[in-house]
Amino acid sequence: MTDQTIAKWDFFEATFTGPSGGNPFLDVQIEAIFQQNSRTVRVPGFYDGDGRYAVRFMPDNEGEWHFTTKSSAAELDGQTGSFNAVAPGASNHGPVHVRNTYHFGYADGSPYLPFGTTSYAWTHQPLELQAQTLATLKQTRFNKMRMGVFPKDYPFNVNEPLFDMYQRDDEGELDFDRPNPEAFRHFEQQVGALRDLGIEADIIIFHPYDRWGYSEMSEEQDYRYVQYLTARLAPFRNVWWSLANEYDFLLNTKPMTQWDRFFQIIEENDPYRHLKSIHNGDVNANYDHRKPWVSHVCIQNWDVKRTQEWRETYGKPVINDEPEYEGNIMLSWGNISAQELVHRYWITLLRGGYAGHGETFMHPDDILWWAKGGVLHGEAWKRIGFLRDLLEEDVATGLTPLARVGNWPWSRVSGASDGETIYIYLGEHQPVIWAPGLPLEPGDYEVDVIDTWNMTIEPAKVVDAPANHPTRHGAVVRQRRPDAAFAVELPGRPYLAIRCRLRR
Amino acid sequence: MTDQTIAKWDFFEATFTGPSGGNPFLDVQIEAIFQQNSRTVRVPGFYDGDGRYAVRFMPDNEGEWHFTTKSSAAELDGQTGSFNAVAPGASNHGPVHVRNTYHFGYADGSPYLPFGTTSYAWTHQPLELQAQTLATLKQTRFNKMRMGVFPKDYPFNVNEPLFDMYQRDDEGELDFDRPNPEAFRHFEQQVGALRDLGIEADIIIFHPYDRWGYSEMSEEQDYRYVQYLTARLAPFRNVWWSLANEYDFLLNTKPMTQWDRFFQIIEENDPYRHLKSIHNGDVNANYDHRKPWVSHVCIQNWDVKRTQEWRETYGKPVINDEPEYEGNIMLSWGNISAQELVHRYWITLLRGGYAGHGETFMHPDDILWWAKGGVLHGEAWKRIGFLRDLLEEDVATGLTPLARVGNWPWSRVSGASDGETIYIYLGEHQPVIWAPGLPLEPGDYEVDVIDTWNMTIEPAKVVDAPANHPTRHGAVVRQRRPDAAFAVELPGRPYLAIRCRLRR
């Protein structure tokens, strides 16, 4: 029997004192087997510095769990302990996994629609700025954060990080055989802070924007880093693994087989099977997301009308986490208008994918949200929150794009449904009357017109669908109007959507 | 010696009286050989009804021309005559041909940048409405009109045409072996009216929107129709041949070989080699525009950022004559906002192609510009005229897309140059500073910021280009800023363009 209790999907940590001489990061192996009845789960441990070793475990079932350690060091081997996993709190839904092929859900069964933002190096900024970032996030509806483990060197990112992720040797050089536990503890603290805000941490393991040498570690060092990171972070329920940002810009030092191996190392060390993805730089350099270790498609592509193509190509959920950022910097991926980003969100979502947010507005102190956090300066985030709230009213399974309506593919207008609820996004189109995609059968529907920019929802004026005008040519008669039970009158301006749902 | 004078690129017509019994359209062949010194040009003649036969000829060189007829009817055979071709008037630049691979020019050497609009059936409307259409065109800067020979049956197009293009038999049925000369004379009159306004007539020979039977004539009747049309219309210098609108919707009765043959028949009967193209319906059904008889690529596609792809695929000028229309009808190709159409124009032009205009606003009497003409109700046409005026200030050769600037392809922002003049269109991008694509070498440049919607041109504030921030990863150093001799400050709002030209 044990006194210690841990909520399901929180994590239990056991610590031990062991060898501190030599290089424990290289020399000492430790893991633990956690057991509930006849079920066992292997969990890697890690060295936390100063002779301190730890194993962490996130229980996915309530009840008593026991563990026994295995270690190459005698004093760490055969240690045992136990804890009691209790019911999770109301805000603890467990980790997110893929559900319904193209969508996500929490382990407790509640839906999860990713509405993420990006702040690559926010955990490397001064603590005050990090606190401000968290305070800002609390005001938004974002529920995912893309963030790197390593600091960033890039335009607008020239400051030194708060912590080195590896220890420095006597000459002041980074020793890529000795992780810096203090830095990892800080990183974990912020992952935990996100968790407490209901935000998934999409952790970017490698990236190319580097002047310190993190992108040039040896293959062996890379593998050890991935293993170390997994041992420490996998027990956080809100962790997602993003193998890289723009992995293709690192192919000159890390060939494709190495990327595959990173995925495998995570699978060997993450018993919770957190979501795993990898993000491209060049639009023509998508990783082969069909590989079995990839849980979902991460993509960088401004051409959001291709969302269905990516769904079909890879057969997995699609998150376009860089459909370009709202901002005004010189770099083209970072200067679209708020209206354009909101437009791309609606197109992406209503073609069955998910989109990501970022902000890159010039700032006198180079504090751009996309890399450093701080406060939001733009206009898109509110509309993205509005979209999330709107969809969460009804979406349970996940949106499925409307394949065809009438005579033409949905290449111009976007539309999707979830169960009996239909959404149509007209975007740059401004009809004064619309029917394609609306239900074929008459029924008791509630139909609304949504102004995606002004964030209003108003009952639509429903009218008879216009009479069909077939046009004969040769042997073929083409229907010139799509069939629908009714039509909707619209005010004839762009950026509107229609929602149609069965009255309950 | 002859007294009759004709301006070069106007046309000479000789008429003769011949057989009127039987069916002269089928029974009587007539052509003429026009001669200047040892040069001869074969010109087909045609039957104009009531025993009247004609041959028409457009001289492309000044001086005296002689002709001799050949005919299956004795009284039409061996007729001779002559005329004197004199210098063209100031507004007569001759026919338009392809020039500089991807562009066009008038026969007199002046550039021609197509800025076309669409009114498929305007010549079939009541005469008052036709007069109004011409008066409207006069107020615009359009210099091409897409228009069908046959009347149109379609939503908003249910009225009967002013003239049947074929004669009716005693039972009131159309006789597709007997063209209606009165209808063709009217059509010619309106082609001439366009010519006098400086507008090219992009004549659509076949289309599928039909309830009278024009789209279901026999193969033989189709061939005779193309021949008859060519004999009558080719002498108009402003004629372009558009084989069809949405030819692929007619493939069930007119297979691909027949479309090829139509092109060939035109080549056999049009000694002036007017421009020839063919327009698709489905975005995946482009004709093979590489075929030698196609002068330029006509395309219907909303995805205008693909313009360079079409240039490269076909190696010919690209006119996207349906990048969707400004309007508010239910059909998706006819309800984009004015801003969106202007946006698509700029993208298309600044990627080295040309775009087409149309308007489809709901109207109480179904008078939609795109089919019937009348007046314009939208906002795009003025901005399109502004763009034409702007480009005609400097463009002589034709715009060549800027292939690459810095590290990324021009997939996000559009840019093109002509000689020393560079245009950059930022569209949905709103940087406050911009350099990519600007000249590499310092020089005496005049740089302007263009508001494409508000139609303003203002001197740009030129500043130093931001310092380069190279980012090392692995063996590769990536330049994070494109090189340019200078940068331009911008107001940070969308739909702006930059023009940079050498001061003269």
Chain B residues close to A258, C-beta within 8 Å? none
With residue B355 as reference, give the H or E element that holds it.
strand B354-355
What is the predicted pLDDT for the residue at A469? 80
What is the predicted pLDDT for the residue at A355? 98
Distances (CA, A) of A471 to A412, A468, B147, B156, B326: 22, 10, 19, 12, 23
Mutate to test the interface with B, among A337, A473, A481, A496 (most CBs of B within 10 A): A473
CA nearest A481 in B: which residue?
Answer: B331
What is the predicted pLDDT for the residue at B407? 40
Q: Is the pLDDT of residue A406 over 70?
A: no
Among B253, B469, B474, beta carbon nearest to A475: B253
Give bridge partners of residue B34 from the DSSP assignment.
B41, B67
Q: Is A60 exposed, middle or buried (0-12, 13-18, 19+ CB in 10 A)?
A: middle
The angle subtended at Cα B327 by Cα B323 and Cα B332, nearest 5°, is: 60
What pLDDT digit, counting tens, does each position of A111-162 carry? 999 999 999 999 999 999 999 999 999 999 999 999 999 999 999 999 999 9
Beta carbon pairs, A and B, within 8 Å = 172
Among A208, A428, A473, beta carbon nearest to B340: A428
What pLDDT digit, counting tens, does each position of A14-46 carry? 999 999 999 999 999 999 999 999 999 999 999
What is the predicted pLDDT for the residue at A75? 96
Does B472 contact A305 at a Cβ distance shorter than 8 Å?
no
Tell whether ipTM is more than 0.90: yes
Min Cα separation B346/chain A (Å): 16
Q: Where are the beta strands (DSSP E) in B77-125?
A: 80-86, 96-99, 103-106, 116-118
Residues B337, B325: contact at Cβ < 8 Å?
no
Q: Is B166 exposed, middle or buried (0-12, 13-18, 19+ CB in 10 A)?
A: buried
With an 8 Å Cβ cutoff, is B305 touching chain A? yes
The one-letter amino acid code at B491 reads P
Q: How far apart are the first and last CA of chain A?
A: 50
Among A215, A362, A429, beta carbon nearest to B335: A429
Does A336 contact B408 at a Cβ distance shorter than 8 Å?
no
Residues B238, B183: contact at Cβ < 8 Å?
no
Compare B473 and B235 and report the one with higher pLDDT: B235
Question: According to the 3-state scheme, what is the secondary structure of B200-219?
Answer: EEEEEEECCCECCCHHHCCH
Q: What would the two tokens of residue A200 be? A: 């998934």
Q: Which of residues 123-142 of A touch B (CB under 8 A)?
A: none
Chain B residues close to A210, C-beta within 8 Å? 471-473
Does A208 contact B305 at a Cβ distance shorter than 8 Å?
no
Q: Which of residues 455-494 of A touch B (CB under 8 A)?
A: 466, 469, 471-476, 478, 480-481, 487, 492-494
Q: Is B364 exposed, middle or buried (0-12, 13-18, 19+ CB in 10 A)?
A: exposed
Q: What would the two tokens of residue B466 be? A: 């931001």
Q: Is the pLDDT of residue B201 over 50?
A: yes
DSSP-derived letter for residue B370 is H
What is the predicted pLDDT for the residue at B406? 39
Mutate to test the interface with A, among B429, B478, B493 (most CBs of A within 10 A): B429
Query: How many other C-beta atoms lie within 10 A of the C-beta of residue A315?
Result: 12
Mutate to test the interface with A, among B322, B329, B335 (most CBs of A within 10 A): B335
CA nearest B487 in A: which residue?
Answer: A330
Does A250 contact B283 at a Cβ distance shorter than 8 Å?
no
Q: Which residues contact B68 (CB under 8 A, 6 or more apart)?
A: B32, B33, B35, B78, B79, B80
Chain A residues close to B466, C-beta within 8 Å? 155, 330
Place of tokens 């459909």: A323
Lowest mean pLDDT among A30-44, A304-318, A393-407, B54-68: A393-407
Does A249 contact B478 at a Cβ distance shorter than 8 Å?
yes
Grade residue B440 by pLDDT with cuts at 50, 70 and 90. confident
Does B253 contact A473 at a Cβ distance shorter than 8 Å?
yes
Grade residue B469 by pLDDT with cuts at 50, 70 and 90. confident
Does A480 contact B331 at a Cβ distance shorter than 8 Å?
yes
Q: Is the pLDDT of residue A1 over 60?
A: no
d(CA A335, CA A330): 7
Among B153, B330, B429, beta carbon nearest to A435: B330
Question: According to the 3-state scheme, what is the secondary structure of B211-274?
Answer: CCCHHHCCHHHHHHHHHHHHHHHCCCCCEEEEEECCHHHHCCCCCHHHHHHHHHHHHHHCCCCC
CA nearest A414 in B: which residue?
Answer: B332
- Cα B142 versus chain centre, distance: 10
- Cα B378 versus chain centre, distance: 21
Closest by CA to A222, choosing from A285, A160, A176, is A176
With residue B369 as reference, give the H or E element that holds it.
helix B369-372
Q: Which residues contact A78 (CB under 8 A, 6 or more apart)?
A: A68, A69, A70
d(CA A471, CA A487): 21
Chain B residues close to A283, C-beta within 8 Å? 411
d(CA A147, CA A207): 10
With an 8 Å Cβ cutoff, is A332 touching chain B? yes
Q: Which residues contact A202 (CB under 8 A, 6 or more apart)?
A: A116, A144, A145, A146, A147, A240, A242, A277, A321
Alpha helix stretches (DSSP H) within B77-235? 127-139, 181-196, 219-233
Min Cα separation A452/chain B (Å): 16
Min Cα separation B68/chain A (Å): 41
Grade residue B410 by pLDDT with cuts at 50, 70 and 90. low
d(CA B383, CA A491): 23
Lowest mean pLDDT among A68-82, A275-289, B83-97, B359-373: A275-289
Residues B121, B152: contact at Cβ < 8 Å?
yes
Give bridge partners of residue A405 from the DSSP assignment.
A408
Q: Which residues contact B74 (CB under 8 A, 6 or more apart)?
A: none
Backbone angles phi, psi at B448, to 5 degrees: -125, 150
Place of tokens 């769990």: A65
Among B413, B474, B487, beta carbon nearest to A252: B474
Q: How far apart are the first and last CA of chain B?
A: 50
Distances (CA, A) of A388 to A381, A382, B374: 11, 10, 45
Among A211, A324, A472, beta carbon nearest to B210: A472
pTM: 0.95
Closest by CA to B304, choosing from B285, B290, B323, B321, is B323
CA nearest B218 in A: which residue?
Answer: A474
Among B210, B435, B474, beta carbon nearest to A250: B474
